[in-house]
Amino acid sequence: MTATHFVGDTAVLTGRSLRHVSRSMDTIITTAVTPIAMMLLFVYVLGGAINSGSDNYVTYLLPGILIITIASGISYTAYRLFLDMQSGIFERFHSMPIARSSVLWAHVLTSLVANLISIAVVVLVALLMGFRSGAGVLAWLGVAGILVLFTLALTWFAVIPGLTATSIDGATAFSYPLIFLPFISSAFVPTETMPGPVRWFAENQPVTSIVNAVRDLLAERPVGTDLWLALTWCGGILVLAFVLAMATYRRRLSA
């Protein structure tokens, strides 16, 4: 199987998945609505009672909201993959002379595109709410790179329940802890305000490093070790999730 064959097959199948998404834009809208609602709640209702150390709370809050947006969006990857498995479309694809892994890559790339659209919508709403950043092009590219890497890592993780779940609820339930994780991080308040054990957990889980790196890039501050920790977390999760997803996929094919 040549690389050209793999790329061509993946492009065709990704186009198919994107057409399905474009006909059901409510999935992207739904993905963006929950994070936007959270952003409105925390800025306009709770923001006055939260001491974030920042004059503009929406600017402080946005990186964490973007993480929640991604965590919400990847559940649809598992959902779409589960439906394809149940409908027998995978078996039909595998009976054709195509690269087998291109079926999974098509779902992953579709998830990436859909999540980037949702992120763009959330950022636009944040701008209307007063978010401002003087970050340059390189800083924004750094932010985009971190978010893309994080999206790919979680998407490959979502492939596993999409392949193994026995119900739609089971395929999407894994995303709930991921949505909750930013609440025990620096996403909403500085970790220094948390009690001892909670603070330790918050400072040593991946979301805090990712949020801090994105926040520092947008604020034009030195990112320090947070950037490397964020890249290490994202890269490690991506490699582990990819290996497990491909192993799960091979087992399903041989079953």
Answer yes or no: are the C-beta atoms of 119 and 68 closer than 8 Å: no
Helices 101-128 + 225-254 axis angle, to 10: 140
- Look up the pTM and report it: 0.88
Q: Which residues, 6+ apart, have CB-to-CB distance to 251 below 8 Å?
A: none
Give mean pLDDT, residues 239-251.
90
Highest mean pLDDT among 1-15, 72-86, 109-123, 162-176: 109-123
pLDDT the model gives residue 179: 81
Query: Strand, coil or helix: what is 223?
Result: coil
pLDDT the model gives residue 45: 80
pLDDT exceeds 60 at position 169 = yes
Report the run of H or E that residue 186 belongs to, with start and end: none
